[in-house]
Amino acid sequence: MQVRKRLFLGALLFFTLLVSGLGLLLWYFTFREPSQFFRQLFFSLGLLLFLGVLLVLGGLVGIVFSIITGKSYPILRRPTQFVITHLLPLVIRFGKLFHIAKERVELSFIEVNNALVRAQMRGRVKPQELLILAPHCLQNADCTYRITTDVGNCRRCGRCRVADLLALKEEYGVQVAVVTGGTLARRIVRKTRPRAIVAIACERDLSSGIQDVHPLPALGIVNIRPEGPCFNTQVELERVRKGVEFFLGTV
């Protein structure tokens, strides 16, 4: 496992251990507290924390085992889903206490998700069931064609990567959509009903999108921003191609 994946998983494990310590402390007070009301309160709070810790540990074990063995564990599916869909904001806040940049945690989360998708994905997806979802900032800023309403409006002049994504669409028969944000992305996903997604975006949009569509498998590819955020962004086309070929089962 690479360092980036360890950041998200390690921070979450550390946080969980701290919460376990708090739970034990509460139970310790249960025995020392003379008031029955507070004894019951401390015990119940400790129990709640203990159950939360079990859930998170189950999710962590599910993720790590899946990544290592390449299998999914049905018994750990729910805890794994809970970790993927609910705990990123908490890990980001926890990371801030140790001056870990939000983007690093998000990037780590995306890598964990990608490793999970690669480990758990079973069977091939038909080309028409695969969606490449790209951000509007990939379009050249001087281009006037409205590709978010229909990516087919692109004239393929080659000034931006949209032309290359359309070439992939034709080569593999997959769907391609360019979206202006999360709301439109969700609408496109609802409309096209893909079985898998190759998503291109910044760390923030990718990590929130992955949480939104989970358990739909989505491979996240972080865009390149040579001119700053949200402006004339780029993407490594080879990574997109590999993501497509992974889902189509051609690699």
List the one residue from 133, 154, 174, 199 that touches ligand SF4 (CB under 6 A): 154
Residue 138 Cβ, how far from ligand SF4 at the closest point, in Å?
8
44, HSE (Cβ side, Cα atoms, 13 Å):
6
Binding status of residue 240 toward ligand SF4 by CB under 6 A: no
Q: Which two tokens stand for residue 170?
A: 């034709």
Sequential DSSP letters for 209-224: HHHHHTTS-EEEEE-B
| Beta carbon nearer to ligand SF4, 113 or 139 | 139
In the structure encoding, which two tokens stand for residue 59, read together?
């999710």
Binding ligand SF4 (rule: CB under 6 A), the pick from 157, 187, 224, 249 is 157
Centroid of chain to Cα 148? 23
139 touches ligand SF4 by CB under 6 A: yes
Gyration radius of the chain's alpha carbons? 21
Q: Is 163 in the site for ligand SF4 (CB under 6 A)?
A: yes
Q: CA–CA separation, 48 vs 20, rounded Å?
A: 11
Verify binding: residue 234, ligand SF4, rule CB under 6 A.
no
Residues β-bridged to residue 70: none
Q: Which residue lies nearer to ligand SF4 by CB, 137 or 213?
A: 137
Q: Does 145 bind ligand SF4 (CB under 6 A)?
A: yes
Interface residues with ligand SF4 (CB under 6 A) are: 139-140, 143, 145, 147, 154-160, 162-163
